[in-house]
Amino acid sequence: MARRPPAVEGLIIDATLIDDAMFPKTRMRRLRQPGIRNLVVETELSINDLICPIFVDETIKKPAEIGSMPDQYRFPLDRVADEAKEIEELGIPAIILFGIPETKDEEGTSAYDDNGVIQQAIQNIRSVTDDLLIITDVCLCEYTTHGHCGIVDYDAERVLNDPTLPILGKVAASHARAGADIVAPSGMMDGMVRAIRTALDIDGFTDTPIMSYAAKYCSCFYGPFREAADSGYAFGDRSGYQMDPANSDEALRELELDIDEGADIVMVKPALPYLDVLHRVKTTFSMPTAAYQVSGEYAMIVAAGARGWLDQDQAICESLLSIKRAGADMIITYFAKDAARLLTA
Ligand code: PBG
């Protein structure tokens, strides 16, 4: 409510004195008063924007906390439905599943086993809810012994792009058969979206959308995830297939290819260090755009929050709002449950 300022004794306002030299014409603070502030708000975070990751581990019996991601757990198969139900009851519309399989091999074959960890997890979740959207991460790094996102030539220490494509197609189709609503390829192989679209269409899943991790940077902020998903690599790094943090024109070229190949939703990842890229992507393509607030972004806020160096709840809200303001339509975040509670409090 606008309030009249208290009269200052001795100050007589003479209209002839009100000129540009004395008073700014526009006072930004007029619209920052309580009440008015809410009327002019430009960006709002909604619970409908949130996607909550779940790690499903075929090798454990009890939920296991992830050391570098306090309060985040790997769930055994028989607990994943409970977790999904809890997420749904908080009002969050979607989850994204990551699997830690019992067996790994050089080609990641357990990733497309119809009885694999993700496929079973989807069925378990579907037995308790029809409405929660299930997105699956489609990648090989959790399923290969060497931890790379494609099959490799050991001698050359190289990831082999093209031979990986049909495998990714099989993984996506197998997820769709199990009941996935959206598949999300994250391996940054060239041509992966086309390969997956083809495999899905041939299997009759013409209506299953692809959310492509289109601009995925080669980032140290994935560090905690690799502990969470047991996907550290045996040699080299991922700079041969993930993007150079120095580049943003290149992100637009990546996007163009993925859209051309059939991506329905595009993603920028990580989020906060790449808000400029997110903004360019959204304004250039006007595509449904997702951002991934990754494990390292989570770890930083939680670590500072635990020491009392930051107000954790405010940091969660401010970072998510910034990601939205930059252009994200949806956000994958380990803070999804916290944000849902804060938004409905
Ligand atoms: C798999 C994948 C990764 C992440 C999501 N999918 C790891 C990587 O590429 O090394 C990272 C997510 C996070 O850090 O939260 N390719």
CA distance 109 to 66: 26
Residue at token pair 């502030």: 37
Instruction: Select from 3.30.70.260, 3.40.190.10, 3.40.50.300, 3.20.20.70 the CATH code of 45-343.
Output: 3.20.20.70
Residue 77 has what pLDDT?
98
Nearest to 301 by CA among 287, 291, 316: 316
CB 6 within 8 A of CB 284: no
pTM equals 0.93
| CA gap 332, 317 in Å, rounded | 14
Beta strand segments in 61-146, E: 64-66, 69-75, 94-100, 133-138
Q: What is residue 235's predicted lDDT score, i.e. its pLDDT? A: 83
Cα gap 258→283, rounded to integer Å: 16
Atom of ligand 1 nearest to the CA of 187: 16
- CA–CA dist 83, 101 (Å, integer): 19
Cα torsion for 114, 119, 120, 122, to the nearest 10°?
-150
Span from the CA of 9 to the centroid of ligand 1 (angstroms): 63
**pLDDT tens string for the chain (345 positions)?**
445 555 566 666 666 666 656 778 888 999 999 999 999 999 999 999 999 999 999 999 999 999 999 999 999 999 999 999 999 999 999 999 999 999 999 999 999 999 999 999 999 999 999 999 999 999 999 999 999 999 998 888 889 999 999 999 999 999 999 999 999 999 999 999 999 999 999 999 999 999 999 999 999 999 999 888 888 888 888 888 999 999 999 999 999 999 999 999 999 999 999 999 999 999 999 999 999 999 999 999 999 999 999 999 999 999 999 999 999 999 999 999 999 999 998
Supply the pLDDT for residue 1: 46
pLDDT of residue 154: 84
Please give the full DSSP string across 267-309, using - where no structure is assigned. Answer: EEESSGGGHHHHHHHHHHH---EEEEE-HHHHHHHHHHHHTTS
Residue 239 is given by DSSP the state: T
Tell me what pLDDT residue 17 has: 60
Q: Domain segments of the chain: what residues?
A: 45-343
Question: 229, exposed or middle or buried, with CB in 10 Å at 0-12, 13-18, 19+?
Answer: buried
What residue owns the CA closest to ligand 1's atom 14?
A: 222
- pLDDT value, residue 289: 98
Are 305 and 277 in contact, with CB atoms under 8 Å apart? Answer: no
Q: For 101-225, list the strands marked E by DSSP.
A: 133-138, 152-153, 158-159, 182-185, 211-216
Let me know: does 100 contact 56? Beta carbons within 8 Å: yes
Active site residue 62: no
Q: Could you tell me the distance, in angstroms and rounded to a whole number, from the CA of residue 213 to the centre of ligand 1?
A: 10
Contact 231, 167 (CB under 8 A): no
Amino acid (1-letter code) at residue 89: E
Q: Where are the beta strands (DSSP E) in 240-327?
A: 265-269, 289-293
Q: What is the pLDDT of residue 10?
A: 62
Q: Residues lining ligand 1, judged by CB closer than 6 Å?
A: 137, 139, 141, 149, 186-187, 222, 225-226, 231, 238, 294-295
Q: Does the active-site annotation cover 269?
A: yes
